[in-house]
Structures are given as structure tokens and as C-alpha cells.
Structure 1
Amino acid sequence: MAVQRVESFVAGTWLQPGAEARPIASAVTGEMIAEAGGAALDAAAMLDFAKSRGGPALRAMTFHQRAAMLKALALFLSERKQALYDISFTTGATQSDHLFDIDGGIGTLFVYASKGRRDLPDDHVFLDGGLERFGREGRFLGQHVCTPLQGVAVHINAFNFPVWGMLEKLAPSLLAGVPAIVKPATTTCYVTELAVRMMLDSGLLPEGALQFVAGGIGDLLDHLGAQDVVGFTGSAVTARTLRGHGGLLDNAVRFMAEQDSLNASILGPDVGPGTAEFDLFVKEVVREMTVKAGQKCTAIRRILAPAETVSAVIDAVSARLSKTVIGDPRDENTRMGSLVSEEQKRDVLEKAALIGAEAERVYGTDELPMGGKGGFVAPMLFHCADPDGAARVHDTEAFGPVSTVMGYRDLDHAVALANRGGGSLVTSLVTRDGDVARTVVLGAGAWHGRIYVNNADSMTEATGHGAPMPHMVHGGPGRAGGGEELGGVRGVLHYMQRTAVQGSPDILTAVGGRWVPGAAEVEGPAHPFTRKYGELPIGETIHTKAREITMEDIEHFAHFTGDTFYAHMDEAAAKRNPFFPGRVAHGYLLLSFAAGLFVEPNEGPVLANTGLDNLRFMKPVQAGDRIAVRLTVKAKTPRSQDYGEVRWHVTLTDQDGETVAEYELLTMNAF
């Protein structure tokens, strides 16, 4: 079998590995299959290539254009994922493992593409939060804005997810407009290299948006500055070394770490053997022990059960583990493949021995599967009878199919044991009791990045204890690294600078691309509902004529809708209410009349009213009052090739010019 020479993509050129390249062995056979690293990297050239070409090209695109790029990448990779499956088998991963790594990574691209289109503007600036007023008249305001960092993202990834580990960092950084240098763990870098080649060959990425390092990164960190970001996934030891790098500290380089994690799963005190929840708990535990052969940063390492159910848990988990077929990951009957390398196998066995000094092994033997070749290890289940007096079970992570069962006395004890891990990426809880869930969240939330609660009601849609979803935060405090990844738009903002901008309404409108009350209004050539999406400028406004509200209107609306609330129908009762001077008009009556004042009724480019946001009633309206409407184009967002969303700022005022109601109307307008 020919040995693959894994290349690096540096400053637009593919570089062969050098004389000191590191050999890479098959996790299945132990035979050498590749070599990587040893090439002389020009760090300054890499950073210049990213910052002078990739960065400007990405920042010239809007969020929506970058989102479309991510979607196209996801589709491109989806059509070629079989090649990624084929090469990944030599990492020890089974076909089902590929769904977590390869399909999961591609799925993350899809999610961020969708988030970019739905949650971010078709613009270059993201507005973070609302306006802040510094004066009574609103002539000087403040707004937090986020703009892309003008540096590079250096992504240093672990061996266990060579595709997902790259794409879960790459998706938010590219969506933010920041180019990336990807450095995967050498052991599985040949899989990442193939995915990178695919993305570069697609022609979808601007030049300089993506570079790839196989092997060591040389002195790259020495060249980073305040506009750069380092995202790391791996061991706590390596994270500590990187975090303490003098250049990163001196230049305040953003550093995000996701590292070792002693994740726990808690069987609720309300759950016993024979229930759907008990079976669910056992299934989750075994899945997390065997998927990727337990090589997941989110895998369950500690199993916490009520003391009286510990024996039942051990028996049920052991029985299910006994049905796990271990073998060649290419075999469709195999349910668990190998660890990624013989080196990793040795590490897992050493860590398991440390745990075994405090806990009894209740499932698993010393005999190694597949005759001891490659990285194969059988699952091991331990029972710790004294979790309060133990230390290793709470601080030693055997990064493989190893987990420890321990009993708890009560829920507070369970929470305390879960927190003994010193910070984790995820703790799960199986319960039907809402009070149990609340107690665990309040007691354990500070120590865990995610709390996954499941039961029979949710299990058909639940994503799994060990599956970080792009929509939700992935990371955790303390031992887990203190970093944060993913989390939808939150993940994008890690690659952007939040800046407080202060100025007049006109200035903030110009900066943010969204009309601010008090800014200049634009008079259009015709009613705005008669003009297409692209013909409407931000700030275009119409002022309607006024309409008098009569007592007949109020009473008719009350009887027609059935809303006969006393404030609209009983003068004496309404006057006793501290909010009303007497009988008042319904708020929804005012909205209906407002629509009647500003709507252009004929068929036109307005396709649909899709809702309203931020509705506020500021002043009651009585019979005899007159209301008028100001309707302004506040913001615009494309939603398809045929139409876009127009956000209108709507203000209702009375005969004294005082605001009685305010809201934002959403319509879909044809292009």
C-alpha cells in the first residue's frame, strides 16, 4: 500500500511534507499509511495571504452572501462525502461514526448558512441590542455594532473529528468574514486534507479564505496580533501551553479552548427500572461509550444513579454492551471500531488502570479485541462504591469506551458529584419531574456548558447527550476550557468586534443601515405599498390623515370581537383603574384602524403581512380622540429570489401629537 504524503496549503501553494515528517498508522491494522509535517512554513506569508486577500474579499461580502457561500460549500461536500467516508475508515470510525463527523460537519455548514440568512442582515454591520437614549429628545443615541475582525482565525483541532472539528469552527468564522488557517491533529489530518482540497477545488471560497497545515505550526503564534483569534480543541495540557504563549498574552489575542471534560449523566430519582426513561438512560450511556469508540469530548464518563438502582443500571448497561460487535469498521455488522491509534490505546489503558485503583471493573476484560492489533479496545464499565472519597474517577478522563457508575443519596448529592468534575461540556439528566430538572439546572448550571434533559416525551426528537448542536453553545467552564463555540449567532460574534457607536439618529441610521426614529424621512413618489422591494429606500415615510375614535366604534368592536373587558364598557370601573381616565378604545381597535389608514388596498408588490414586533401602547385613547399614523421603511432583508422582508416602523399619535402606540410591521414585498 502506497504511503500518502499529506500536504499543507500555504499562501496559495500545496507543500509536500519535509524530511522530518511524522508517520501515521492505520488505526485498524497498525500499518503505516501516511506521513505529514516537517515542511518549512512561512508564517508571515500565510498571515499576509489571509489578511491581504482572504480578509478583504470576505469583508466585501454581506452576511447573506457569505451564508450563500456556506450553503454552496455544504452542498458541494454532500455530493462528495462518500470519498470522505472511504478514507475515514482507517481512523477506526464506523459508518455510523461518519454520521457524527462528516454528516455532522456538513450539517453545521447548513445550519450556519440558514442562520446567516434568517438572523443576520444583508449588510456588513450587525446591530447588537437596541438603541440607548442619552437625552429626553432622542437627538443623541448609542448603538452597539459588530464588525469583522481584520485578522485571521487559527483553528487547532483534535484527532477525533477531522471533518466536524474543522467545519464547526470554520462555519462561524467565514460567516463573520474572517479567513482561517486550519491545523488538525496529525493523526487524522489526511481526512481533513481531503475535505480542504474539496472546498478549495470547488472555487466557492475567495483566495486566501482558507489555508491548511498538516503537522506542526512552527512559529505561527509568534506572529499573531490583536485582530487574530485562536480556537483550540484538545487536551488541557496543550491548552495550558497555548494559553500561556507570550505573544498571545502580550497582544491580547482572543483564545478559545475546548478541552478535557468529565461529563456526567444523572438518572433522576423519579426513574426506576422497567420505565421508558430507565431504558432511555441505559441506551444513552451505551451509545456514548461506543460511538467513535468513546473518543468524544462530550462522551459520558460518569454515570450517576440513585444508590438503590445502581445494581440495575450496571446489569442493564453490561447487557447492552455485551451485544456491541467490535471489529473492522468497514464491516456493516460492526458497532464499534477502534481508537485512533496504538498510542491512544496505551493512554486509555493507563487511564483506565488509574480509575480501576478506586473503582471495581464490572464489565470488560484485559483481553484486547482483534488480537491486540491497531487501536482496538473493548468497553470497560467501572463501579465506584465511594464516590465522595474517590479522586481519580472525578479527574481522570480515559478518552475511550470507559465509564464509571456511582450511586448518589439524594438529588443534592447527585449535583455535587456532577460538579466534582471541575467543569464539563455537558451533563445530562433523565427525568419526568420538572422540579428535579430545575434543581439540577440551578445547582449544576454554573459548572456545565450544556444540560441535556430527556424523557419519554422528548426522546423521539432528542439529539443525544453527546451531540453538540450548532444552534446551541458548545463549551464549558473550568476543566472544559472556559471557551465557547457554536451557539448560532453567538459563535459568529466571537470573530467580530463589538463597538459602541454614539451619534445622532441620522448618523446611526447611516452606520447601521436601519432607520432610527428621529432620523431624516424620505418622501416617495407614490404610496410605498405600490412600489417593489428594491424601489423602497430606508427612511421612506408616509403620514396619514387622522381618524376620530367614536363610542360607537368602541362598542361595535367590543361586541363584534367578544372583547367586552370592563375598561372598554364600564365607565365607573374604568375610572377606578389607575391606568385609565374612563372608558378607552381597545388596543387592537387602534391597530385595525391604523392599518385602514395606511394600507393601499389594490393588488401590488406587497404580498403578505407576516407579523408585527415590539408592540407598545403608551397612552390610552378615548372616544373623541383622533389618531394618525406615521409609516416608515425601517429595514429590508431579502428572503428569496422573488421577495424580501420589509420592516416598517409604525407610530400612532393623537390630536396632541403624543404617541399612543408604536410597533414594527413586517411585510413580504415582491422584487
Structure 2
Amino acid sequence: MTTLENYTLGRWTPGASAPQELLDASTGEVIALANTEGFDYEAIFHYARTVGNPALRKMTFHERGRMLKALALHLMEKKEQFYALSVRTGATRADSWVDIEGGIGNLFANASLRRKFPDKPFYVEGEPVGLSKGGTFMAQHLMVPREGVAVHINAYNFPVWGMLEKIAVNLLAGMPAVVKPAVPSAYLTEAVVREIIASGILPAGALQLIVGSGQGILDHVNYQDVVTFTGSAATGRKLRAHPRIVEEAVPFTMEADSLNAAVLGLDAKPGTPEFDLFVKEVRKEMTGKCGQKCTAIRRILVPESLIEDVQIALGKLLSQTTIGHPLAEGVRMGALAGREQRQRLREQVELLAKNTPIVYGDLDAGLDVLGQDRGAHFEKGAFFSPILLRNDQPFRNLDSHELEAFGPVATLMPYKDTDEAIKLVNMGKGSLVCSLATNDPRLAQDFVLGAATHHGRILVLNEEMAKESTGHGSPLPLLIHGGPGRAGGGQEMGGMRGVEHFMQRVALQGSPTMITAITEVYQPKAKQIEKDKHPFQHYFEELEIGQTYVTHRHTVTEADISAFAQVSGDNFYAHVDETSLEGTLFTGRVAHGYYILSKAAGMFVDPRKGPVLLNYGLDECRFTKPVYPGTTIGVTLTVKEKIGQEKRDAEDVAKGIVRWYVEVTDQTQETVAVATILTMVKKKNQD
């Protein structure tokens, strides 16, 4: 038995209050003590804001991403010690895989997300906005890290994933974190944080850990901070109404347990792959992590003619769920997090059972749990039977849509048609996720459009995607994890959207030249830099934002158009048949847009060997004015943005991507085409 410590102010220390006992979920054995009070949150937050925040803010997205990757690799090497400890939470190896390697996978995913951002501490969001006719006044949105701290208040069911999926995002954004895990499983969170700190990968102040109740943790937050909460909707609402949250307008995102639903489509009859997939998915969500998942299926909606079929099929699968100590051979479901959770769950099921009878499972019968030789004990542990209830009048008996039993519990209910199914799933008043098993695209579209307003995520399950699907209950790092209403109204993760939650968006207004200087992204009509040497002869480091090359001019001929049509095979009538132009936008044969772009490339490219390694691609292209024979075109090539690349290994060439703004104008100086092209350019410094 150990006494857990907190990591604050750069050191490990015990709490100051009387300790709370943390028990093994299977045996009831006391495995750790946690001091739950006595923290100087004002000092903790000050340390995060003044030490951790400046260090992270100075780093670029790419540096932060590489930091996350290094951390993920380090934790992956230590995963077996986490698995050994995770058993004490009642989790099987499969349950722990989701928590441990799922959490580490979140670090990997966000590390890779760095490539969506520039190699800068900030990023430019969206397109520039012109604010004046002459083009000398414009605006651009800019995202910068907040100057505060991310406060994460987490639930007990995912002590590893719950922390890592959140800090991966705030660290990539450039904010430090204070993590407060739920006490019952805090010993596993503490073990992971010990490894994170021991690795030395994060800068000082980037991560602090509070192992305790967190009483008073919100009393010192301010408007630069961000608070996230995962847990019950009731607790989340209390925290959201905290005076400090309200007074300081602190961003608060809540991911709450919700009454998620699974719907069997009208076409998914017994014997179809979708029927079998549906039943297996429901069983998996009821029993995985002992049903202690915020995304678990709580309501099972099936066509009224198939309710008996589903009840029988699901009951058969549930009967094959062997319960016991997670290390005992053959165990498919472990224990709840603790006896307190078991008592609470029993009370919730008893309330539901008043109007919706139990059709599988028994609250009163003791379980013969496997692993008694390992100390597993029904009375001392927190084992619980899967419970299936049936609500034959779901529009009348409303407890199924309002009360959640947080464990291996779900309620079966019938519906008549798709419209009725939509009404029923939406009666949950907002959910994290809903699943629909169907192979009918029209049915799927009708359902999704009707249910999307009430759900954060919808999984359409059919045979085509089943082998590769991550399933109903798996939030993914690049997709939002959250939902409206009861689910909290917030979101976690979500790729770039998740990162933006920890940043401040500012609408930057000014001249194109000034905004170019601030954002390090060239804006049209900004002042340009001309040099004697062709820009393709400059190394990556030597190129400057706004550096410009103006080409010679070329007069387009009919022969040019005909030759391009022959070479490309593009014989669209407007290019080759001037007798077919009546009623069109054109007054004569018009040059191909791609001819204009190709000719522009021929005009601005320097054919000599130099630092430019290759053409990397085309981001944007617009043809803004028809080009007829006799039009004289010229090209202005400008360095728009520079993005450094990481070397894959010591032998790789040091290089970066240069984004060039290409503007093609005619003899009247009107723009006929614009594009952003990318080239890979060698760096002068190959170290």
C-alpha cells in the first residue's frame, strides 16, 4: 500500500489532509491512500501561468508535436506497468487497452496533427478578408495560445485516456495543464504522470497533478484559463455555475454521461449482417469497461416486430459474458470501479425497474465470479451482473430517457417507423453518440438529418465497414467528442477544432503590408521585395516572405490554344469551336485555364539546377477572366509562406515547403488567374 502524491510547483508532495482509502475493485483490498485536501491552488495556477505557459507559448506547433510524439513513445515503452496497475480498477486487458494504449494513441494522433499547423507558435486561420475597394485595408483571423492554464477535472472510468486525450490537445495548443483525476482510480493516473515527469520531455510547469477531491480548484481560475470536465451531468452543471466561471467568463467544456442510443434499422431483420452486427455491438457496449463508459449504449431501439428477436439474441450473448477477476482465464467482464459505484448503480436500476421490468439479469442473486484464487470476492469487490430492461411504452414511461444507470445496463424499447425512432433517440435530450444499423442509404439519410441536432456523433453500422469500424463507443482524436444538451454542450478533441479551444482568436485589421509582417503570410497588395537573383536560386532560409519575381510577358495565340487542346486532349467546345459560342459567356475561342497556369509556370520557372527540389502541389487556383487570342499575359511570383520540414533521418535532405502566390495579369493589369503553388526547397544548412 502506498500514499499517493501530488505533482505541483515542480515537485512531488503528499496532501495535507486525512487520507482516503482506494480499494481494489475486485478484492476490496486497500491499495493506496490519497490525501484529498490542503492544496494552494493560487500558487499552483501562478506556477503554471508564469513558468509552464511562457515555455510552451515560445515553442512552435511542430516543436510541441514532436514533444508529444516523444512522450507517446516513452509511455508506450512503460505500458506493461500501467496494465499491471489497471487490473486493480476492475478492468480486463481489453478494457485497459482502450484506456492505456488508446490514451497514448491520442498523443500520437495529436503529434501528427502538427503538420496541419505552421512551424510557428501561432497560426493564421481562414482566408483574408478585404475591407476596402482599393485593397489597402483588410483583415485576417489569427490564433494564439491563451496565457492561462487548462484545468482538467476527469472521471474515474478512464484514468489514463481521460487525462492523455485532454493534455495532448492543450499541449499542442501551447497551454499548460493542471489535472485532477477522480479519486477512486487516481493511483493509475499518478503512475502515468510519474513517468511523464521522469522522462523530462515536458518543460517545467507544463503539467501538474492533483490527487484529491479538488475542493476549491475553481476558486482561482481566470478568463485566460480553460476548464474541462468529464463526469455526471449534474456535477457538470454545478461546476459550470461556479461564481468564478461566471464572473471571469472562463471557457468551460463539459463532456457528460448521456443516454446514448443504438437503433436497429427497419431493413435489418434477423439473418441480415446488420442485425448480427447490431446485437454484438450492443453486447460489447454493455459489457466493455463493465458499462462504465460515457459513450455506452443505454437505450436500444428496435422495430416493434423484432423486439422479441433482439431480446432473445441479446440475452444469449449476455449469458456468455463470464464475470470475474480481470486476470482470471476466460473472464470477459471485470468489476465496477468500486463498491460505492455498485451501490449507486443498484439504486439507479431499482428506479428504472419500477416501470420497465428487468428481462435479463438479477439484482438480488449473487454472482459466481471467477478468480477467487486471486482474491476476487462478490461481496468485497464491485461485481455487477449485466442488466437488460424492457420499456414497451417508451413515450409514456420516460425514466428510460431521463435516468442513467452507469454500468452494464441498457433498456430495450420498440418503435413503429423511422420518424418514431428519431423522436425516441432525441428524447434523451442530447447525447454523445448514437448508432444506426442499416444498409438502406435513404433510411440512413432520413435518420441522420432528423437526429443530428441531438447528437455529437452518429455511427451508421453495416457490413461494408464493420471489419474496420472502431465501434459505437470509440471517440477518435480527429473528431469531436461531445454532444448537445445533457451531454454537456461542449467538445473534446476534434483535430484542429480541439486545439483552437485552448487558443484565442483575434480579428487582425490593417494594411496588407502590416498584416503580412505580423502573420508571416503574404497578403495580396502588400509591398513586395525584389532581388537580383531569381527566387528559385535561393535556399529555403534565404527566401523572404513577400519576395517577388516579375516575368516577361507573352501574347496568347490561337495556335497556343490549339496546341494545348491537342496535347491535353481537352477539346471542350469553348476552346476549339467558335461556332458553338452563341448563348455562352464567351465572345470567341477562349484559352484553357490550365494552359494559362501551365504557361505561367513556364514563364516563372528558372530552368537551371538550384535549391528547388521539386513541385510539391497546388493548393488554390482560380481563373477570374477569360483569355482570348491576342491577350498579353504576365506573371508575378511571390513567396507567400515558408513551412520547414523535419528530417526523417540523418541521411535525409534538410528542406522546407515554400508556398508561392502566383498572379497572372493581362495587358490592362487585370487579374486573369491566381494560384498558390508549393515547391520543396533545399536548406542551406544541412545539419
The answer to whether TM tops 0.5 is yes
Superposition deviation, residue 512 in structure 1: 1.1
Q: Is the 8 A contact 1:24 1:33 kept in 2?
A: yes
Cα distance in 1 for partners of 2:620, 2:541 equals: 25
Cα distance in 2 for partners of 1:623, 1:586 equals: 11
Deviations 1:319-348 (A, max 9, x none): 111111211112342111110001111111
1:189-268 to 2 correspondence within 5 Å? 189-268=186-265
Residue among 521, 530, 533 paired with 1:514: 521
Cα distance in 2 for partners of 1:420, 1:138 equals: 51
Residue 657 of structure 1 is matched in structure 2 by 669
SS in 2 for 1:85: helix
Cα distance in 1 for partners of 2:362, 2:36 equals: 40
Q: Is the 8 A contact 1:426 1:451 kept in 2?
A: yes
Residue among 299, 305, 309 paired with 1:308: 305
Residue among 476, 501, 514 paired with 2:508: 501
Residue 594 of structure 1 is matched in structure 2 by 600
Q: Is the 8 A contact 2:432 2:481 kept in 1?
A: yes
Q: Is the 8 A contact 1:10 1:41 kept in 2?
A: no
* 1:390 maps onto 2:388 in alignment: no
Superposition deviation, residue 65 in structure 1: 0.8
Residue among 168, 172, 175 paired with 2:172: 175
Superposition deviation, residue 174 in structure 1: 0.8
Cα distance in 2 for partners of 1:539, 1:101 equals: 48
SS in 1 for 2:190: helix
Structure 2: which amino acid aligns with 1:71? K
Moved over 4 A (4+): none
Residue 650 of structure 2 is matched in structure 1 by none
Structure 2: which amino acid aligns with 1:598? F
Superposition deviation, residue 575 in structure 1: 4.5
SS in 2 for 1:397: coil
SS in 1 for 2:101: helix
Structure 2: which amino acid aligns with 1:89? V
SS in 2 for 1:507: helix
1:520-535 to 2 correspondence within 5 Å? 520-535=527-542
Moved more, 293-302 or 366-375: 366-375
Superposition deviation, residue 525 in structure 1: 4.3
Q: Is the 8 A contact 2:257 2:295 kept in 1?
A: no
* 1:608 maps onto 2:614 in alignment: yes
Provide structure 1 residue ranges, at least 5 long, that are not aligned to the other structure: none
* 1:617 maps onto 2:615 in alignment: no
Superposition deviation, residue 19 in structure 1: 4.1
* 1:157 maps onto 2:154 in alignment: yes
SS in 2 for 1:161: coil
Cα distance in 2 for partners of 1:650, 1:508 equals: 19
Q: Is the 8 A contact 1:153 1:230 kept in 2?
A: yes
Superposition deviation, residue 50 in structure 1: 0.5
Superposition deviation, residue 569 in structure 1: 1.5
SS in 1 for 2:637: strand
Residue 484 of structure 2 is matched in structure 1 by 477
Q: Is the 8 A contact 2:71 2:196 kept in 1?
A: yes
SS in 1 for 2:266: coil
Q: How many residues align?
A: 667
Residue among 48, 65, 68 paired with 1:67: 65
SS in 2 for 1:365: coil
1:365-384 to 2 correspondence within 5 Å? 365-366=362-363, 367-369=365-367, 370=369, 371-384=378-391
Q: Is the 8 A contact 1:345 1:376 kept in 2?
A: yes
Cα distance in 2 for partners of 1:539, 1:318 equals: 68
Residue 632 of structure 1 is matched in structure 2 by 638
Q: Is the 8 A contact 1:424 1:447 kept in 2?
A: yes
Deviations 1:286-340 (A, max 9, x none): 1101110000000000011111111111111111111112111123421111100
Residue 330 of structure 1 is matched in structure 2 by 327
Provide structure 2 residue ranges, at least 5 long, that are not aligned to the other structure: 370-377, 648-653
SS in 1 for 2:552: coil
SS in 1 for 2:674: strand
Superposition deviation, residue 670 in structure 1: 2.1
Superposition deviation, residue 203 in structure 1: 0.6
Moved more, 33-42 or 380-389: 33-42
Cα distance in 1 for partners of 2:500, 2:265 equals: 36
Deviations 1:456-486 (A, max 9, x none): 1111221110000010011111111111111
Residue among 348, 351, 355 paired with 2:348: 351
Residue 137 of structure 2 is matched in structure 1 by 140
Cα distance in 2 for partners of 1:627, 1:293 equals: 69
SS in 1 for 2:464: coil
Moved more, 486-495 or 522-531: 522-531
Moved more, 645-654 or 11-20: 11-20
SS in 1 for 2:466: coil
Task: Give the alignment's TM-score, normalised by structure 1.
Answer: 0.98
Q: Is the 8 A contact 1:16 1:39 kept in 2?
A: no
Residues 166, 562 of structure 1: CA spacing in aligned structure 2 closer, same or farther, 3 A cutoff? Answer: same
Cα distance in 2 for partners of 1:103, 1:517 equals: 46
Compute the RMSD of aligned alpha carbons.
Answer: 1.3
Deviations 1:551-604 (A, max 9, x none): 111112212222111111222322430x21211011111111111111122333
Cα distance in 1 for partners of 2:609, 2:357 equals: 76
The alignment-based identity, stated in percent, is 50
Deviations 1:203-254 (A, max 9, x none): 1111111100001223231111111111000112211221111111111111
Cα distance in 2 for partners of 1:267, 1:667 equals: 50
Structure 2: which amino acid aligns with 1:595? A
